[in-house]
A = this chain, B = another copy of it.
Amino acid sequence: MKSPGLLGVLGGMGPLATIDFLHKLLAATSATMDQDHVPVVTASIPQVPDRTAAFRGDGVSPLPAMIESGQRLIDAGASLIVVPCNTAHLWYEPLRDALAIPMIHIVDAALEDAIAVVGPCGHIGLLATDATTASGLYVNRKSPQGHALQWLLPTASEMIELVMPGISAVKSGDTKRGGALLAQAAASLGKRGATAVVLGCTEIPIVLNSMNAPLPVIDATQSLARRSVAWARSQQALNGADGAALQG
């Protein structure tokens, strides 16, 4: 029952970040009634092995579980898949190859928004997991237009004392502690010259946003949500009336 315009969300990494992404899909949609919103199927199956542990070589690969969730979305009819978890994008290429379905890369979405805020040669901070940061997922990614963004990363001790405990606190539901730790990490990046900071882990924007962060933020979750809605709208335009292709 593959349906043009049906967005698949491969979530559960973690489940609260998935909900935050679904919220941002709604917020990115101009709607006055239920039927105006983008059709979406979501797999939030959090029994995916820890991504950071796997990257460090301390755990099993999350790839088979991610492929299984992706296949469920394809079985449900999704025709594009997005993954609201930055670290999971370390396995983006093998996942896309296994699923053989169009996907949007969260870093591409975030980079485009970052360049719009700080310019193509701007000084930009990154708050992300140890694995996302150390793998170069952000700093090595080229944007289609090319860019020379100047990255500022947390120090090793900031990663250990602020960023990773902050992300863990959000995952365990202690958003207050998580927010305080991550705001402190963002402030450090600002002191070292960042004019804005990419929130490059989907747990972070749950507690840090443009209202409470000490400097402007680029929320990668929001970047991905906006592009997902744009994709769904373009599919609707291609396939005629609102969601008609999804009606039985």
Contacts and interface: CB of A to CB of B under 8 A. Distances in A.
B34 A26 contact: no
A130 interface: no
Contact of A22 (B6, B19, B72, B242): B19
Contacts of A22: 15, 18-19, 22, 44
Given A65-B247, A76-B73, A45 B34 contact: no
A44 B33 contact: no
A48 interface: yes
Given A22-B22, A75-B75, A172 B41 contact: no
A243 interface: yes
Contacts of A35: 46-48, 50
Interface in A20-75: 22-23, 26, 31-37, 39-48, 50, 64-65, 67-68, 71-73, 75
A177 interface: no
Contacts of A201: none
Contact of A248 (B68, B75, B172): B68
Contacts of A26: 15-16, 19
Contacts of A171: 33-34
Given A19-B26, A75-B76, A76-B76, A172 B33 contact: yes
A57 B73 CA distance: 35
A13 interface: yes
A67 B248 contact: yes
B42 A46 contact: no
Given A1-B71, A34-B13, A68-B248, A42 B44 contact: yes
A216 interface: no
A31 B172 contact: yes
B34 A68 contact: no
Contacts of A172: 31-33
A84 interface: no
Q: 4 tightest CB-CB pairs across the interface, nearest first? A: A47-B243, A14-B34, A72-B76, A39-B45
23 contacts: A1-B71, A13-B34, A14-B34, A14-B37, A15-B26, A16-B26, A19-B19, A19-B22, A22-B22, A33-B171, A33-B172, A35-B50, A39-B46, A40-B44, A41-B41, A41-B44, A45-B243, A47-B242, A47-B246, A72-B76, A73-B76, A75-B76, A75-B77
